[in-house]
Amino acid sequence: MTPEQVNLVQQSFVKVAPISEQAAVMFYDRLFEVAPQVKAMFPSDLTEQRKKLMATLALVVNGLSNLAAVLPAASALAKRHVNYGAKPEHYPVVGGALLLTLEKGLGAAWTPEVAAAWTAAYGTLSGYMISEAYDKSQAAE
Q: Please give the model's pTM, rounded to 2 decimal places.
A: 0.89
Would you give per-residue pLDDT tens digits along the chain (141 residues)? Answer: 899 999 999 999 999 989 999 999 999 999 999 999 999 999 999 999 999 999 999 999 999 999 898 999 999 999 999 999 999 999 999 999 999 999 999 999 999 999 999 999 999 999 999 999 997 544 444
Please give the full DSSP string across 44-108, using - where no structure is assigned: S--HHHHHHHHHHHHHHHHHGGGHHHHHHHHHHHHHHHHHHT--TTHHHHHHHHHHHHHHHHHGG
Q: In the prediction, which pLDDT does 131 show?
A: 95
Number of structural domains found in the chain: 1
Phi, psi of 58 (to 5 degrees): -60, -45
CATH code for position 98: 1.10.490.10
Instruction: Give the pLDDT of residue 122.
Output: 96
Q: Which domain holds residue 24?
A: 3-140
What pLDDT score was predicted for residue 136? 55
Contact present, 138 and 88 (Cβ < 8 Å): yes
pLDDT given for residue 140 in this prediction: 47
Exposure b/e, 58-84, CB count within 10 A at least 16 = b = eebbebbeebeebeeebeebbeebeee
